Amino acid sequence: GQNIDQPTEMTATEGAIVQINCTYQTSGFNGLFWYQQHAGEAPTFLSYNVLDGLEEKGRFSSFLSRSKGYSYLLLKELQMKDSASYLCAVMDSNYQLIWGAGTKLIIKP
Partner 1 sequence: NAGVTQTPKFQVLKTGQSMTLQCAQDMNHEYMSWYRQDPGMGLRLIHYSVGAGITDQGEVPNGYNVSRSTTEDFPLRLLSAAPSQTSVYFCASRWTGGGGANVLTFGAGSRLTVL
Query: Residue 68 — φ and ψ, nearest 5°?
Result: -100, -5
**Closest CB 101 distance from partner 1, rounded Å:** 5
Q: Check residue 91 for interaction with partner 1 (CB under 8 A).
A: yes
**Closest CB 16 distance from partner 1, rounded Å:** 26
Taking a C-beta distance cutoff of 8 angstroms, is the pair 98, 27 a contact?
Answer: no
DSSP 8-state symbol, 6: -
Q: Check residue 17 for interaction with partner 1 (CB under 8 A).
A: no
- Quick one: 6 or 18, whose CB is closer to partner 1? 6
> Among candidates 89, 99, 90, 55, which has minimal Cα distance to 74?
55
> Among candidates 45, 41, 46, 48, which has minimal Cα distance to 91?
48
Q: Check residue 41 for interaction with partner 1 (CB under 8 A).
A: yes
| Span from 9-17, 60-68, 71-79, 84-92 in contact with partner 1 (CB under 8 A) | 84-92
Q: Check residue 10 for interaction with partner 1 (CB under 8 A).
A: no
- CA dist 2 and 63 (Å) reads 21
Q: Check residue 23 for interaction with partner 1 (CB under 8 A).
A: no
Q: Check residue 100 for interaction with partner 1 (CB under 8 A).
A: yes
User: With contacts defined by CB under 8 A, how many residues of the chain interact with partner 1?
Assistant: 23
Q: How many CB atoms are closer than 10 A to CB 32?
A: 26
